[in-house]
């Protein structure tokens, strides 16, 4: 494998690792959101209008974090697809 091929392979491996890390974080935030939603629903059912808005705030914050992670994942996926397309072009020109 030449140096260029090795660099491309390392970059693809780094991109995959980055995607995997983002997926783990996304899964964690989604589980956190699920727990926050369950707790907020339970609080609303038990206390009604007397419930605090803190639970709703945590649900909203978790939603924002999930949205940011999904956006990051989309960008990472696009970069990986571009790298793979570049490899295919190089392979077909040889």
Which bin fits 47, alpha (ψ -120 to 50), beta or left (φ > 0)? alpha
Mean pLDDT of 39-66: 84
Taking the C-alpha atoms of residue 82 and residue 65, their distance in angstroms, rounded to an integer, is 26
Mean pLDDT of 54-58: 78
List the structure tokens of 30: 């989604």
pLDDT in tens, 23-37: 999 999 999 999 989
Whole-structure pTM over 0.85, yes or no?
no
SS3 94: coil
Taking the C-alpha atoms of residue 14 and residue 52, their distance in angstroms, rounded to an integer, is 44
Q: In order of start, what are the domains of the chain with their CATH numbers?
A: 3-92 (1.10.287)
3: pLDDT strictly greater than 60: no
> How would residue 1 be classed by pLDDT, with cut points 50, 70 and 90?
very low
């Amino acid at each position: 494998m030449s140096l260029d091929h090795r660099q491309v392979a390392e970059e693809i491996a780094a991109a995959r690792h980055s995607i995997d890390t983002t997926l783990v974080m996304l899964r964690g935030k989604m589980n956190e959101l699920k727990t926050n939603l369950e707790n907020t629903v339970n609080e609303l059912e038990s206390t009604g209008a007397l419930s605090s808005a803190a639970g709703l705030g945590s649900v909203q914050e978790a939603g924002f974090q999930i949205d940011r992670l999904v956006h990051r994942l989309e960008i990472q996926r696009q970069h990986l697809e571009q790298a793979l397309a570049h490899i295919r072009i190089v392979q077909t020109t040889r």
